[in-house]
Structure 1
Amino acid sequence: MIDCTALSENLIEEVEVYSFQDGLCNSCLAPLICEKKTPLLVNGREVARLLALDTEIEELALGFLFTECLIDSPDEVRSLRLDREKWLVEVELTRPLADGLPDHVEFFTNGGRGRTFLSRWFKEKVTAVKSDYQIDCRIISSLMGQIQESSALFRSTGGVHTAALAVDGAIIHFSEDIGRHNALDKVIGHALRNRWPLPESAMLLSTGRISSETIVKAVRAGIAFLVSHSAPTLGALHIARAQGITLVGFARGRRFILYSHAQRVKAAPGSISVTDSL
């Protein structure tokens, strides 16, 4: 997570703009997020170019490789480092790259997420999540509140998404980026480096919209809970129900919407009975 007391100069740049309010115009300085393009080389071959905030670049690369099914385990990575002089990430695997990759990939990891490798190996490498873990509904609301209050970068610029990983009802890591996909990849990359495999109680939280690609990240990581401040798409819901993900959207204040595998969320006394029919 970005230090809330001092924002790095390479993350924000102030530019002169005009501000309008009630029809009146004034000049002022506006803080803008700085993004950076980072080539990702695996076994000497460029497989992607990551457009991202200059934080946790190595974690982003590792999470990207895993969620895109280019690796199946952190044990397959012999070395991974960010070369700050050349500004690229070099990864050496313990095995050759899989066959079938395009000759050249111009892949920008941002909010829209362009081309993806995942569809090539979805059926082979993505399996449904099985979990009997249950969590109190009030913990979900509390965790989402912590995310929304945590980001100094968002308060300063309004230009980043935040993601978090929680275990046993407590947040263990925050990540931020210009893209919601990147933020989740950073969180998963952190877990791959520091706490893998994850326990049944693991939960992903995000400030971004939940698309099909976002849901697949949770499935790929074996994380049964995905919670967002925003809305899911219909495609994301179909995948969540089919692949064993408890999907929560519109988590704001003490309210949220539970879309799938509702039996894992314990309601307060006096509520209607929650079943697994969703």
Structure 2
Amino acid sequence: MQDDRLSLWNITKYQQQAKTTKLDEVARESAVTVQINGEQYATIVCSPANLELLVIGFLASEGIIRTTNQINTLSIDKDKGFAYVELDFPVKLETKSERWIGSCCGKSREFYLKQDVKTAKTIYSDMELSTDQATKLMKAFDHQAEIFDRTGGVHQAALASSDHIIESFIDIGRHNALDKLYGYILKHRIPMKEKCILFSGRMSSEVMLKVSKMGAGILLAKSAPTDLALKLASDLNITAAGFVRENSLNVYTHTNRVYQKINKNVTI
């Protein structure tokens, strides 16, 4: 059965002096237009999977909803590329023109600063991780990266406790992967005090703000941070750890949440 996150494409491959033709797997890219209370709000370019969770997380990230209880109905028409959302309250949309939210990163939210002021929150979490737990979680995260391994064209975000991955999502857009995760957290009403987020991409300021909105105290990432992301993490009481590998990681902010077990058998 064909995975709806993948598409097959005929390619010509050159390797050293050899030329071959083959079917290759590439990441699928689709567009879904979100209508809120009958009014078109935004079109999101995304991977066509877990669209309900994507829409829920997107609306929460935009500051339109805070809980799934505010959604009366949410239906997805994959064939037409529409998500129809009816809320239990009227919404005054601040723009009448359709917004196009691309799968690339950068300024992907028109209301970025205004809405984030309303919805970003300081994290109060006592969760701690040993360096061993952090690297084991990233190893498990990597083992779930099958679609990336097959295409190289997606980002991944996951929710974890101190000892296992709870759920993970992929998307061609890194913000979409995080929004799917946010939608999952809201839909299942998951308490976040003892949870952390794992992420495949760079820790930007927008990524850090999303982690704040989800309520996680620790972010483990495979890549690097930006300075603004670290300033936000410091202000919002988030532990930001990057370059998490099999035997190493860099902890940039609120380092008290990450500790190293001392092996008493080791002598110096």
Same fold (TM over 0.5): yes
1:157 to 126, 147, 151: 151
Structure 2, unpaired ranges of 5+: none
TM-score by length of 2: 0.91
C-alpha change, 1:71 and 1:98, in structure 2 (3 Å) is: farther
The one-character-per-residue Cα deviations of 1:11-47 (angstroms, maximum 9, x if unpaired) are 3222222222224433333211111100011111111
Opposite residue 117 of structure 1, the aligned amino acid is F
The one-character-per-residue Cα deviations of 1:52-86 (angstroms, maximum 9, x if unpaired) are 11110000010011112121222221221212343
Hey, what's the Cα distance between the residues in 2 that align with 1:64 and 1:131?
24
The one-character-per-residue Cα deviations of 1:212-233 (angstroms, maximum 9, x if unpaired) are 1100001111111111111111
Q: How many residues align?
A: 263
- In structure 2, what is the equivalent of residue 21 of structure 1? 15
C-alpha change, 1:27 and 1:83, in structure 2 (3 Å) is: closer
Structure 1, unpaired ranges of 5+: 1-5, 272-278
Q: Which SS does the other structure have where 2:32 is aligned?
A: strand
The one-character-per-residue Cα deviations of 1:67-111 (angstroms, maximum 9, x if unpaired) are 121212222212212123433111111111145x11123222423
Do 2:157 and 2:170's aligned partners in 1 also have CA atoms closer than 8 Å?
yes
Hey, what's the Cα distance between the residues in 1 that align with 2:152 and 2:240?
25
Are 2:72 and 1:86 equivalent residues in the alignment? Answer: no
2:117 to 123, 145, 149: 123
Do 1:70 and 1:98's aligned partners in 2 also have CA atoms closer than 8 Å?
no
1:238 to 231, 250, 255: 231
Q: Which stretch shows the higher mean deviation, 21-30 or 210-219?
A: 21-30
Do 1:32 and 1:157's aligned partners in 2 also have CA atoms closer than 8 Å?
yes
C-alpha change, 1:89 and 1:255, in structure 2 (3 Å) is: same
Matches within 5 A, 1:180-259: 180-196=174-190, 198-259=191-252
C-alpha change, 1:81 and 1:205, in structure 2 (3 Å) is: same
2:31 to 10, 32, 37: 37
Q: CA RMSD in A?
A: 1.9
TM-score by length of 1: 0.88
C-alpha change, 1:154 and 1:27, in structure 2 (3 Å) is: same
Percent of residue pairs identical: 29
